[in-house]
Structure 1
Amino acid sequence: MAETPDWSGLFPELLQTIARKLPDISDFVNFRAVCTVWRSSAHVSDLPPQLPWLLEERGSLEGDLRFYSLFSGKIHTVPFPNSSGNSFCGPAHDSIVLYNKTTHQISLLNPIADKKVVLPSLSLDIAWTNPIQVGPDPIWRGDSVVLSGIFVGYKTGFVALYQPIEKEWMVIERNISPNFRDTYYNGLYFLNKEYIGTTEIINTVTQKMVHVVPPPPKEENCECCAYLTYVAWRSTYLVQSAGNILRVVLHTLESLETYKTHFHIHRLDLGGENEGKPCWVKISSIGDRILFLDNKNGFSLSCRDFSGFRGNSIYFLNKYSHGFALPLYSICRYDIEEARVEPLTCPFANGGTWIVPSLR
């Protein structure tokens, strides 16, 4: 009978090399669970960049969380701790943002590592809020936590920034607008007003509006305008991608039998190709970047970190809604160069939101 090899005898350098090449966080966790030697050789900081997981849409915080791994195609179930009194604002990067309407406290919960960070109270009468940015390490690296939302009464909105250096929230009130999309980058807050198409840029230090960018020219030969036999709708996203602000517009055409989806992408030129004024410039490629879009927000990653995944593409949730039936969702990949949609497997018919799994 052959002897069972002593896997704990592998050189630590070899173990570290193996750990850093594990593309799925569940494999990394299982690797560290083999024995004490393997655990000590694979530090949490050795976790390679991770593809997002899809967090199943949920109406409450009760019950377990379910995630779908785009890489492995597996569903992971994570117990959710008791969060009485908290409401679910949404995920941002690797955290779930919780808001307690009684104490006005904002918490960041990493559901994978089961770690919770409590931020100072945000003493506002908030009817609804959505996380825009939570950096990879908002406590130790000084990354801002940025939320936007609407006050009770739905008359005005706000953007709130928490920076660990000041250890307090800065709140900027803004006019409310239906179907808005927003993002934050490098001290600037970008707010797209869908119903008129303009994008406001607010300096969060001075709290003053510095630019109002007009919408890009209407697309020529746009099928959404050409076919009245279709039910057509669009969704606009503002996405920070490798230092650029992108305006990504998803067009969907629905007939009784088919769906057609395509994207228009523009990059914000602050220098101004339009007589020195900021403007949107149409682009046909985003290089090696991959965009991930859900129903509200979007972010980008580099395909160089993920073997087998191509850049210049968009992963998004496609909504199917015939008649008065409840909408169903699927994950799709859009090839920007070929303007082609590729349906993928999605186990959550009611949709979800993207979250980057982390052990920090």
Structure 2
Amino acid sequence: MGGDWSELNSDLLHLISKKLEKFSNLIRFRSVCKQWRLAVDSTDLPPQLPCLLQPDPTLFSTSYSAFSVSSNTTSQVKLPIGHREFKHTFHRAPSIGYLLVNSFTPVKLQFLLNPVTENKLHLPFPKGTLFHRMIYMGPNPNSNSRTAKEGVHSVVLVLDRFEKTPIKSIMFWQSNINKITTFRIPSISGPALPGYYKGKLFVTRWDRGETNVFDMETGAEMNVVIPNPNEHSMFFFLVEAMGDLLGVVHHYNYDGGIREFKFKVYRLEHTDEFDECRWIELQGIGDRVLFLTRNQGFCLSTSDFKGFRGNCIYYLELVEDRNKDGQRSYNRRLLRYNMEDGTKDELLNNVDFYATWFVPSLS
């Protein structure tokens, strides 16, 4: 075929774009030229499946690998963000297609980046803010909007490096009014993280064996104390899952001297005002799929995202290896855990420490 590819008929380009289901193909198509980019209509695309993004090990490279758990394939893509910035990127789905980025070049900035559209939303966090972890980034539960400029909450746990008191700061950004609210919570010992659910912040306290609740609008601690399950003093993950708050525990059973890894999932049963709450253990999670990494997680439904097996948990596990000389090395791998029978499958080996889940969006 001769001629200029950028002059292809816009209707034909639109038909081709409707066949694109992979994140990597979507980026390549839109990168050809402006006409090809405009031919992609977000309303025609099927829901974009989450992928595991990993940076190229080269320091200033913008190449990434995108692993699709639905097709078990890896594609190479170019993103408008370098490895150095990606190392300071935190992501928590549902994110409507954005990554939270700490940029250290040339000055330290924080912004939301949509790597598909290259749209940036700069955040009004104070200079020198050191993000510890992202707790939640997604639609405001009290808003009908699903666009980042109009109805998104971004909740960030800030590490107080120079504080001597056992507290941590929470920064709460509301996109519709571009406002930052800051309040403080007791420092959490152990690997548990706060969880965001229905406009409230749930904090698991390992030292007390309970979960406390904070009102996100005022930052005040509510008069709510939820005893954690007796067999587990704390949760490793608190995940909002299709209208429920799930507490996830992973532990090892020792059967006949063999160490066996297991997950347990609990659902928070509560009244509308949270004046009565308790954790109920679930035998399965139905058609839901959990994605966990670095003490963070999110949930999707197989009814909305085809290509996944329901009642499963995708997670990253750190594995210790020893060579013949006894020297230790560590490797992370991506696994899928079946809640029905407790079996697990390895999907990907040698996963980069900075790998993160990402759900693409054209919004």
CA deviations over 1:117-161 (Å, ceiling 9, x no partner) = 1021335x6444211222265533411111112212254201111
CA deviations over 1:275-314 (Å, ceiling 9, x no partner) = x731111111222111100122100111123333111111
Unaligned runs of 5+ in 2: 1-6, 140-145
Equivalent-residue separation in structure 2 for 1:116 and 1:299 (angstroms): 23
**Which secondary structure does the structure 1 equivalent of 2:116 belong to?**
coil
Match of residue 133 from structure 1:
136
| C-alpha spacing 1:61/1:357, structure 2 compared with 1 (3 Å) | farther
Equivalent-residue separation in structure 2 for 1:132 and 1:248 (angstroms): 15
Answering whether residue 194 of structure 2 is matched by residue 182 of structure 1, we say yes
| C-alpha spacing 1:268/1:20, structure 2 compared with 1 (3 Å) | farther
Match of residue 153 from structure 1:
162
**1:218 CA drift (Å):** 1.1
Match of residue 289 from structure 2:
290
Match of residue 170 from structure 1:
181
**Which secondary structure does the structure 2 equivalent of 1:76 belong to?**
strand
Given residue 176 of structure 1, which amino acid in structure 2 is its aligned partner? S
Match of residue 346 from structure 1:
349
Match of residue 23 from structure 2:
25
Equivalent-residue separation in structure 1 for 2:57 and 2:129 (angstroms): 18
Equivalent-residue separation in structure 2 for 1:348 and 1:245 (angstroms): 28
Given residue 238 of structure 1, which amino acid in structure 2 is its aligned partner? L
Name the stretch that deviates more: 298-307 or 73-82: 73-82
Given residue 95 of structure 1, which amino acid in structure 2 is its aligned partner? Y
Equivalent-residue separation in structure 2 for 1:330 and 1:254 (angstroms): 22
**1:349 CA drift (Å):** 5.3
Equivalent-residue separation in structure 2 for 1:57 and 1:195 (angstroms): 37
| C-alpha spacing 1:59/1:207, structure 2 compared with 1 (3 Å) | farther
**Which secondary structure does the structure 2 equivalent of 1:23 belong to?**
coil
Work out whether residues 88 and 96 of structure 1, in 8 Å CA contact, stay in contact via their aligned partners in 2: no
Equivalent-residue separation in structure 2 for 1:339 and 1:254 (angstroms): 14
Given residue 121 of structure 2, which amino acid in structure 1 is its aligned partner? V
Alignment of 1:26-41 (within 5 A): 26-30=24-28
**1:95 CA drift (Å):** 2.4
Given residue 193 of structure 1, which amino acid in structure 2 is its aligned partner? R
Match of residue 99 from structure 2:
96
* 2:332 corresponds to which of 308, 329, 336: 329
Match of residue 217 from structure 1:
230
Equivalent-residue separation in structure 2 for 1:243 and 1:189 (angstroms): 15
Work out whether residues 104 and 121 of structure 1, in 8 Å CA contact, stay in contact via their aligned partners in 2: no
CA deviations over 1:12-32 (Å, ceiling 9, x no partner) = 5x9867745643122334556
Unaligned runs of 5+ in 1: 1-7, 220-233
| C-alpha spacing 1:128/1:31, structure 2 compared with 1 (3 Å) | closer
Equivalent-residue separation in structure 2 for 1:151 and 1:297 (angstroms): 20
| C-alpha spacing 1:359/1:259, structure 2 compared with 1 (3 Å) | farther
Given residue 239 of structure 2, which amino acid in structure 1 is its aligned partner? V
Equivalent-residue separation in structure 2 for 1:128 and 1:11 (angstroms): 44
Work out whether residues 335 and 344 of structure 2, in 8 Å CA contact, stay in contact via their aligned partners in 1: yes
* 2:359 corresponds to which of 345, 350, 356: 356
**1:79 CA drift (Å):** 4.3
Computed over aligned residues only, the root mean square deviation of the Cα atoms, in angstroms, reads: 3.9
Work out whether residues 16 and 46 of structure 1, in 8 Å CA contact, stay in contact via their aligned partners in 2: no
**1:254 CA drift (Å):** 9.0
Match of residue 193 from structure 1:
205
Match of residue 113 from structure 2:
109
Equivalent-residue separation in structure 2 for 1:302 and 1:15 (angstroms): 31
TM-score (norm 1): 0.78
Answering whether residue 211 of structure 2 is matched by residue 206 of structure 1, we say no
Work out whether residues 56 and 65 of structure 2, in 8 Å CA contact, stay in contact via their aligned partners in 1: no
TM-score (norm 2): 0.77
Equivalent-residue separation in structure 2 for 1:186 and 1:195 (angstroms): 25
* 1:53 corresponds to which of 51, 60, 63: 51
| C-alpha spacing 1:359/1:65, structure 2 compared with 1 (3 Å) | farther
Equivalent-residue separation in structure 2 for 1:339 and 1:146 (angstroms): 33
| C-alpha spacing 1:194/1:26, structure 2 compared with 1 (3 Å) | same
| C-alpha spacing 1:320/1:347, structure 2 compared with 1 (3 Å) | closer
Name the stretch that deviates more: 108-117 or 28-37: 28-37
Match of residue 319 from structure 1:
318
Work out whether residues 87 and 354 of structure 2, in 8 Å CA contact, stay in contact via their aligned partners in 1: no
Equivalent-residue separation in structure 2 for 1:170 and 1:314 (angstroms): 33
**Which secondary structure does the structure 1 equivalent of 2:149 belong to?**
coil
**Which secondary structure does the structure 2 equivalent of 1:135 belong to?**
strand
CA deviations over 1:37-61 (Å, ceiling 9, x no partner) = 8765531343321222212279997
Work out whether residues 313 and 339 of structure 2, in 8 Å CA contact, stay in contact via their aligned partners in 1: yes
| C-alpha spacing 1:36/1:64, structure 2 compared with 1 (3 Å) | closer
Identity of aligned residues (%): 26
Work out whether residues 289 and 301 of structure 2, in 8 Å CA contact, stay in contact via their aligned partners in 1: yes
| Number of aligned residues | 337
Equivalent-residue separation in structure 1 for 2:294 and 2:152 (angstroms): 24
Match of residue 263 from structure 1:
263
